[in-house]
Structure formats: structure tokens, C-alpha cells
Amino acid sequence: MQKPSLPKGTRDFGPVQMARRNFILETIKDTFQLFGYQQIETPAMENLSTLTGKYGDEGDQLLFKILNSGDFLKKVDLNDLSEGAAATLPKVAEKGLRYDLTVPFARYVVMNRNELTFPFKRYQIQPVWRADRPQKGRYREFYQCDADVVGTDSLVCEAEIILMIRRVFAGLGIQDYKVKINNRKILTGIAEVIGESGKEGPLCVAIDKLDKIGWEKVKEELTDRGFAENAISKLSPLVSAANESSEPLSFLKSFLAASEIGMQGVRELEEVFEIMQSMGEDLSHVEPDMVLARGLSYYTGAIFEVKVNQVSIGSVSGGGRYDNLTGVFGLTGVSGVGFSFGVDRIYDVMEELNLFHEEDSQGTQLLLAYFDEKSFSYALKVLTQFRKAGVRSEIYPDQAKMKKQLDYASKKGIPYVGICGDEEIKSETIALKNLLTGNQESLPIYEVISRFTAVN
């Protein structure tokens, strides 16, 4: 008899984990809907032609491919074996598993462009698959949770992203975090004013390491990457200012004065903050970060990243504005801005900070327990009344000793047991036992119902 196992890098989610994940996802969904985002879902499988070439060479390697159905060797001949896997692949596989939610979304927008109402605000919560080497905290199947608006340049969207992040974190009980924001145009401007136009890519890769390796090492790396000595020394005041991080915008206004695009980036940042102020919102948790650069090749405007302080996990959410999401599928001029909550990381953060509460679990609130056939019958009738009132309740289905019934409740995390015996039948009550405190009181059914529905 085989002993079953899971493919490496994959996980089951049991009841406790699911309840916690649902709490996170419901909080996020609720916020997306409050802001007018609409949910879509796309298939797990996409044509390989849709996926390939969108994630770089490494990404192509990490795509899970689906073997063609039926005789998958049909088109393969002897030559292919010597040509190797890459050459043979197109003959045996036409489909692959979704690698992220962005490419399927772009495909969806292009295929439905005539039916959609723009600006189109969509959210999507689905698993993605990557054939990465599994390691702690990195899985081959994990959920992404994305919100994007496409078809508008309005910075109202950037402001709303910040507001949504803050609302989600408030709902989850995460208090100590920052929403870092930058703008690609600022990065372009920085490269310009130090005389290295167009090199914001390598510049940011190096500067990103400031926290870890310090300015001296970053300077070495910049030299290795071909930055002029003069350019590097021009960068010095920026690095000092970034470290202090007081009033970065006013620093940038003088630092970038000579760069038109750089100044435009600063103005865009300011405008986002002004919109928030018009909305009557403060700027708490918001932190301009002039060297934030995630996924630089992709973003053309705002860049976001959320970091929770005091925990081992870093970034839990990120995103930004892109000018040309759908260009690769032939539809140009669709500008958008989006971001993604890292559900697995948020889960780990909440566990580390001990923020999960069992009340959030949607688990059974009450188990009815009984001694014999007669009280079983009574309990069944009472059960119906509880359920009609919306109280999540159950009965131990087999005739069993009281201890076994109480054990079941306790192991399943059910907080209350309603004990039914002769006394209760006579008085139309139940003996309501709080399993946490051990307290027990005799109460009429309607009284118990009103307690539970009030708490609910």
C-alpha cells in the first residue's frame, strides 16, 4: 500500500490555517470592494505562447508546462532526443500554469477590451505556480492577491492604493509598518543629474544595498558598473539625505532642479499627497523613499512597497504604475497602476506578531451534548432552533459518553457546549458550559440564542 505524500514545494491548508487565511483575504476583498474594484478570475492554464517571454529567461525556465493530452510523443522524432529538452518542448506541451496574475490580466484586458468599462478596476485572488527551488517561505504554489486600475493616468489611483493598504492593515491589526513610495521619474532624474543618463537600472541595484553593505561598498560596486568617479561623488549628498530621510521631497527639489523629468516625478509624489489631503486623510505610515526601485524595468511612475517593522519578514506588498501593460499583446496606450498583497507573508507576519484571534475563525460556536436517546432527541430539536437563528452549531453524531463529546468540542476549538439532560428537557433549557473557563449555567434556549446572536 502506497504511503501518500505531497509534491515538494506544495502545501495543504488545514482548518485553522484556512480560517486565518480567509480572515486575511476577506479583509482585503472587503477593502477592494469598498473602493470599487471588481473581481475577475482567469484559468490556471494559459497557452505557452501567452506566458513565454514575459518573465525573462529565468521565468521561462520556472514555468510549469502541461503535457499535451493523448499521444504526447506524436510529433517527437529521433532528432529531438539529441536536440534536447528546449527544442522538444513545443512538440510535447502547449500549455503552462499561470506564473503571476499580471500577464493573464493583460491578456484578459486585450481579449475583452470592447466589453470593458474603462477605467477598469479589477482585483484577482488566485494561486500561481513557479518551479522554483523550494525553501523556507518559498513555495511552488502560492496565492497572489492583486488590484489594478487600467485606462487612466489619474494620481487619484495612487492615493487610493495607499488608502487601501492602510485600511487592510488596520483591519488586520498590523500597526507598525510603512508604505514606502517613490517614482520612476525621480530615479531617471537622479541618473540624469549625476551625468549618467539612462543608467538608473544599475544605479538602483547598487543603491538598494545601502542598508546591507554601506556606502563604501556601494561606491565600489558603482565603479565596477562603470559609473564615473565624478558621478559617484555627486551622489553622496543624496545618500546622506536618504539615510536621514527627513524632508526628502525638499531635498529632491534642489538636488533634481536641473532635471525636468526628475522634477516631474517629485511633483507627482506631491500631488498624490495633496489628493490624500483633499480627501481629509493624513500621511501616517507614508514614507517617500528616493531610492526605492522594485521591478524597475516595468514601472514608469509611482513605485510602492510596504514593510512591516519589528518582524523578520521584509516587504509584504508592492506595486507601481506602468505605461504599457498590454503592449505585448498588441494593445498600446493602456496605462495602469496596481499592487499586490503577499498573503503568505502577511500570514507569517501576523503569526509572528500574534495577531490571529480565534473569534475570527467562523468555526462552530456551540456543540450540543447529551446523555441518552431521550436527551439526544431533545438536543436535535434545540439544534434546529440554534441554526435557524444563525448560530453555527453542531451535535456529536454518534451516541457517545459525555467526556468524548466534550473532548470533541475542545479539540475542534468549539468554545461552548450546551449540555442536555432530563433537567434541561423538563425546563426547556440547556446547561451552557464555557470550555475555556469551565463556567456552567442553566439558561432558556432563547436566552442562549440571543447571547450568541448579539456577540455575532
* Alpha-carbon torsion angle 43, 44, 48, 50, nearest 10: 50
What is the footprint of a second copy within residues 334-393 (CB under 8 A)? Answer: 362-364, 377, 380-381, 383-385, 387, 390-393
- Of the candidate spans 57-65, 183-191, 348-356, 444-452, the one that interacts with a second copy by CB under 8 A turns out to be 57-65
Q: Which residues contact 348 (CB under 8 A, 6 or more apart)?
A: 137, 313
What is the footprint of a second copy within residues 169-228 (CB under 8 A)? Answer: none
What is the footprint of a second copy within residues 277-306 (CB under 8 A)? Answer: 278-281
- Least CB distance from residue 19 to a second copy, whole Å? 7
- Which residue lies nearer to a second copy by CB, 377 or 427? 377
- Which residue lies nearer to a second copy by CB, 62 or 431? 62
- Least CB distance from residue 274 to a second copy, whole Å? 10
Which residue, among 101, 96, 95, has the nearest Cα to 126 in the 3D structure? Answer: 101
- Which residue lies nearer to a second copy by CB, 170 or 436? 170
- Least CB distance from residue 307 to a second copy, whole Å? 25
- Least CB distance from residue 290 to a second copy, whole Å? 26
Which residue, among 118, 96, 99, 97, has the nearest Cα to 109 in the 3D structure? Answer: 118
Q: How is 223-288 classified by DSSP, letter by letter?
A: HHTT--HHHHHHHHHHHHHHHH-SSHHHHHHHHTTT-HHHHHHHHHHHHHHHHHHHTT---TTEEE
Distance CA 249, CA 235 (A): 16
Distance CA 277, CA 269 (A): 13
The dihedral of CA 111, 114, 115, 121: what is its sign? positive
Distance CA 83, CA 265 (A): 50
Among 329, 339, 356, 416, binds a second copy (CB under 8 A): 329
Which residue, among 64, 30, 53, has the nearest Cα to 341 in the 3D structure? Answer: 30
Among 412, 423, 427, 444, binds a second copy (CB under 8 A): 412
- Least CB distance from residue 317 to a second copy, whole Å? 19
- Of the candidate spans 105-113, 224-232, 235-243, 301-309, the one that interacts with a second copy by CB under 8 A turns out to be 105-113
- Which residue lies nearer to a second copy by CB, 36 or 237? 36
* Alpha-carbon torsion angle 244, 245, 251, 252, nearest 10: 130
Q: Which residues is 67 bridged to in the sheet?
A: 93
- Which residue lies nearer to a second copy by CB, 219 or 433? 433
Q: Give yes or no for residue 270 binding a second copy (CB under 8 A).
A: no
Q: Give yes or no for residue 157 binding a second copy (CB under 8 A).
A: yes
User: Total residues contacting a second copy (rule CB under 8 A)?
Assistant: 108
Distance CA 429, CA 419 (A): 9
What is the footprint of a second copy within residues 59-88 (CB under 8 A)? Answer: 61-62, 64-67, 69-74, 76-78, 81, 84-85, 88
Specify binding-site residues for L-histidine: 100-102, 130, 144, 148, 294, 298-299
Specify binding-site residues: 100-102, 130, 144, 148, 294, 298-299
